[in-house]
Amino acid sequence: MLRKEQNDQLTQTGPGTPMGDMFRCYWIPALLAAELPANDCPPVRVKLLSERLIAFRDTNGRHGLMDEFCAHRGVSLWFGRNEECGLRCPYHGWKYDVTGQCIDVPSEPTESGFSQKIKLKSYPLVERGGVLWAYMGPADRQPALPEWEFATVPASQSYMSKRLQEANWLQAMEGGIDSSHVSWLHRGDLNSDPLFKGAKGNQYNLSDARPVFEVVESPGGLYIGARRNAEEGKYYWRITQYVMPSFTMIAPRGTHTVHGHFWIPIDDEQCWAWSFDYRPDRELTAAEVSAMRDGKGIHVKVDGSYRPLANKDNDYLIDRVAQKLGKTFSGVEGIGMQDASLQESMGPIVDRTRENLVSTDNGIIMARHRLLRAVKAFREKGALPPGIDVAHQRVRSAAIVLPADQPFTEGAKDALVVQAAVAHASV
Amino acid sequence: MSSAAEARFRLQAPNSRPRAITVIGLDAGGAEAVRRLAAGGWSHATFFTVAAPGQLERLDGSTIGLDEQVRAADLAVMVTSAEGRSQAAAEIGRVCSDRRVNTTTLIVGAIDASDEMLSRTLAQVRPWSLMLVLAADEQYITDMMTALRA
């Protein structure tokens, strides 16, 4: 459980809130690069950290992310005309460049310089790895560009999708580090999903249904190790990475692609679930990409606004027959929606004063502990939160067999950091 | 907290009864941590160090049988430093296993320990720990106990 004030602190990310200020220290995924596919293409509405913004790509290919509303009469610039290096409000023709600077007020004499007095709040927006990343913090604290491995490999080796999740970011993120739910909620998918099946490690999973967990602090967040009995005197480890505030990377399976998430607040009651898959050592196959587009693995089929086709309005297309037959444990199809359906069912912001955690929830308890500690250090001392240092981002998850008495942080030391063009440690 | 609209129709009746948590310091470092932790004033946790075989020592110096104490517990939390002196985990873990009581072990100061000492400690506690946490700071134990409603 958390006290109400702790729950509020962790779940509220609007401007001026402690957690919101901390989130604004990081580069966060804002849009898929494909959402702004060409120069002068239509602008896109973006809500991040409870701020309504507009993103556009100008005539010269520069990306802009700024206040959604025209400074004149408050019209949404989503209706704007993206032309000649700026976004023009269709109401009275006021025009803005990618920095939010007003560059034309047709009703005022050009010589008056009035337009120079008008500027919308704007944020840097840069493309990396098929994602447009936003930095919403103070300019003098802007960190180095993100170096997550999936975003630095060639485009042919990586796939990214996003979906709307109608729940606070924290309960979605906590699902990503809650290793103990996998044996229940996703048990039907291990042997059937094309992006999971066939790995030798799956046999360890199936032959030892009661994993034991170890939670270890890492420089950027946490390692969450789930161990199962392997051959005599050895353990099979699945090590998940959590990097603050909201990055998770799931342990790989065999030669499959490696996947993980970002959980980015839209406002306090919705978040974007970003899902990546990649291989550092090879291109993705056509079959893998096809499966990802088809909503397999951790990906989900969505509509044009990235809302899942299975959603709370249609009860997530729950199939009670499939549930009864054990084809899916919850009756909801697909790993991503199995998670999302349950997390959304908790309510927009779950009341953590009423929860009853158990010892297998230590990964979640530790993540909250580290987040609260980092927020406090940031507010009181201006301490740089973990996860900003690019060294914290050059990490990997791992699946590995180790001697029984070996700390996994020692035995998997090399496997837990990026090694260029080398495959993940996987079983 | 959830929006007023969302929370409006949620039942507010209690949904659990308190769990009894037994906290045991396995070695000297663990015992010190347990003593500091006990000063926090907990409602549903009792604190011990290891005494003679089959015995636990309360912080006031009195003793109780290990089996008797474990029988009354819903969860056993073992606290140890990473000095390879956590042999008591085996006896406690065996009793907990017999009594079907879950065990969580916290290793404090693991970050500063040598790999050899940490390995030795892990070999002692891993077979008897259903959850193992290597925390950088002792404050984590307090936060965990709070999270578990101790």
Q: What is the pLDDT of residues A232-275, one digit of tens each?
A: 889 999 999 999 999 999 999 999 999 999 999 999 999 999 99
The complex scores an ipTM of 0.95
Whether B24 shows a pLDDT value over 60: the answer reads yes
pLDDT at B8: 81
Query: Cα–Cα distances in Å, from A392 out to A147, A159, B56?
Result: 9, 22, 42
Chain B residues whose CB is inside 8 A of the A17 CB are: none
- Find the range with the poorest average confidence among A225-229, A278-282, A357-361, B109-113: B109-113
Confidence category of residue B4, pLDDT binned at 50, 70, 90: low
Q: What is the pLDDT of residues B65-95, one digit of tens each?
A: 999 999 999 999 999 999 999 999 999 999 9
**Section A136-155 average pLDDT:** 97
State if pTM tops 0.90: yes
Q: What is the pLDDT of residues A59-110, one digit of tens each?
A: 999 999 999 999 999 999 999 999 999 999 999 999 999 999 999 999 999 9
Instruction: With CA atoms as reference, report the closest residue to B26 among B95, B107, B96, B94.
Output: B107
Q: Confirm or reject contact between A406 and chain B (CB < 8 A).
A: yes
pLDDT at A179: 82
**Section B122-132 average pLDDT:** 95
Q: What is the pLDDT of residues A158-172, one digit of tens each?
A: 999 999 999 999 999
Q: How do strand A158-165 and strand A122-123 relate by DSSP bridges?
A: unpaired
Whether A209 shows a pLDDT value over 80: the answer reads no
Q: What is the pLDDT of residues A353-367, one digit of tens each?
A: 999 999 999 999 999
Q: Residue A403 in 3-state DSSP?
A: strand
Q: Confirm or reject contact between A376 and chain B (CB < 8 A).
A: no
Of residues B10, B123, B144, nearest to A362 (C-beta): B144
Burial readout B20-53 (b: 16 or more C-beta within 10 A, e: otherwise): ebbbbbbbebbbbbbeebbeeebeebbbbbbbee
CB B16 to CB A356 under 8 A?
Answer: yes
pLDDT at B1: 46
**Section A368-392 average pLDDT:** 97
Chain A residues whose CB is inside 8 A of the B148 CB are: 357-359
Q: Which of B131, B137, B138, B141 to mutate to test the interface with A (most CBs of A within 10 A)?
A: B131
pLDDT at A231: 87
pLDDT at B2: 53
> End-to-end alpha-carbon separation of chain A, Å?
35
